[in-house]
Amino acid sequence: MKKKIALISGITGQDGSYLAEFLLKKNYIVHGIKRKSSSFNTERVDHIYENYQKSKNFYLHYGDLIDSNSLFNLVHKIKPDEIYNLGAQSHVGHSFEIPEYTSEVTGIGTLRFLEAIRFLNLKKTKFYQASTSELFGQKDKRNVFSERSNLVPKSPYGVSKLYSYWITKLYREAYGIFACNGILFNHESPRRGETFVTRKITMFLAKKYFGSKEVLKLGNINAKRDWGHAKDYVELQWKMLQKKTPTDYVIATGKSYSVKEFINFCCNYLKFKIIWKGSGLNTKCFLIKSDGSKELLIKIDKKYYRPVDID
């Protein structure tokens, strides 16, 4: 039987690397897009390259979501059965500092892919768009989010993803492209980028466990998130493209916890005794040492708050 061919943007990221592994195990031929960087950026997929290059099932190509030609040429050459658009400037906080770049990559980048499929008339190519719970903004009166919730993004990242969400829907309806939005809540793993809050906290605490003297600076620790595991969520991305008809899906665990609860859980796991003092910007967390003395562990820094920070 002919092997299925997948093209993944964002293959060097958390989800891209897990999805590549998942699809290769399903006997796909996987093509990934990596962007040009002045330093190595393939750390998360180097082991895949090592394992699969001989079998000719795994390929990496240079390309960029702001470069229509590179995307068009790759789609034309590879003619994938499935495209997974996971590439993005994906950091919500940073999107306030680089809103225009975020819109280009995270918003218009999606249109560039859809236009390539439309223009090349690839009737069999299915398209997955990495959409996000950041479309939602604040919870409504029913205190739940669903595929029918109001979309009220609160960051340049969310607004860019909202454009991608609607353009994906539009190309599905207008041109009959098999295109799905996966509206995913946060998902984490040991491959999570180091500036996202779970990784920032776990890396800091691991260093502290081995004697580091650093103090962790955080933003809004009362913010709540629904955290799942990236490995589970990439499987669902694939499943969406295996359905008979394309539509959009919300993916979440249904349980949310605050950043503070996450810290308490991690400290408990490491058997760190901690105590919280103060409130708001003056909140501090201390580590109680074996001799009873206190060491400052975490403090709040306004710099890590977002202009719109949703609890």
Strand 58-62 to 29-34 pairing: parallel
User: What are the strands of the beta sheet with 178-184, ordered from one edge?
Assistant: 58-62, 29-34, 5-9, 82-85, 126-132, 178-184, 249-251
Q: How far apart are CA 22 and CA 27, in angstroms?
A: 9
| Residue closer to ligand NAP (CB basis): 9 or 220 | 9
Q: How far apart are CA 195 and CA 91, in angstroms?
A: 8
Query: Which of 83, 130, 197, 252 forms a contact with ligand NAP (CB under 6 A)?
Result: 130
Who's near 43: CB < 8 A, 6+ residues apart? 12
CB atoms within 10 A of CB 67: 15
| Residue closer to ligand NAP (CB basis): 33 or 218 | 33
Residue 2: exposed, middle, or buried by beta-carbon count in 10 A (0-12, 13-18, 19+)? exposed
- Catalytic-residue membership of 125: no
Who's near 134: CB < 8 A, 6+ residues apart? 92, 153, 154, 155, 157, 158, 161
Residues 261-290 close enough to bind ligand F7E by CB under 6 A: none
Residue of 18, 157, 165, 233 marked catalytic: 157
Q: Which stretch binds ligand NAP (CB under 6 A): 82-90, 116-124, 284-292, 300-308?
A: 82-90
- Catalytic-residue membership of 134: yes
Minimum CB–partner distance for residue 276 and ligand F7E (Å): 15
- Give the total of residues touching ligand F7E (CB under 6 A): 22
Q: Which stretch binds ligand F7E (CB under 6 A): 48-56, 59-67, 114-122, 219-227?
A: 219-227
Asked if residue 153 binds ligand F7E (CB under 6 A), the reply is no
Among ligand F7E, ligand NAP, none, partner that 125 touches (CB below 5 to 8 angstroms by kind): none
Among ligand F7E, ligand NAP, none, partner that 195 touches (CB below 5 to 8 angstroms by kind): ligand F7E
Residue of 106, 134, 171, 188 marked catalytic: 134
Q: Are 192 and 230 in contact (CB under 8 A)?
A: yes
Half-sphere exposure of 71 (CA within 13 A, CB side): 25
Among ligand NAP, ligand F7E, none, partner that 223 touches (CB below 5 to 8 angstroms by kind): ligand F7E
Q: Which stretch binds ligand F7E (CB under 6 A): 68-76, 108-116, 128-136, 247-255?
A: 128-136
Asked if residue 69 binds ligand NAP (CB under 6 A), the reply is no
Q: How far apart are CA 9 and CA 263, in angstroms?
A: 32
Tokens 């694939």 correspond to 238
Minimal CA–CA distance to 114: which of 28, 175, 183?
A: 175
Asked if residue 132 binds ligand NAP (CB under 6 A), the reply is yes
Query: Which of 34, 172, 200, 208 forms a contact with ligand F7E (CB under 6 A)?
Result: 200
Asked if residue 306 binds ligand F7E (CB under 6 A), the reply is yes
Q: Are 35 and 8 in contact (CB under 8 A)?
A: no
Residues 185-204 close enough to bind ligand NAP by CB under 6 A: 186-187, 193
What residues act catalytically?
Answer: 132, 134, 157
**Which residues would be at the binding site for ligand F7E (CB under 6 A)?**
90, 92-93, 132-134, 185-186, 195-197, 200, 218-221, 223, 225, 259, 304, 306, 309
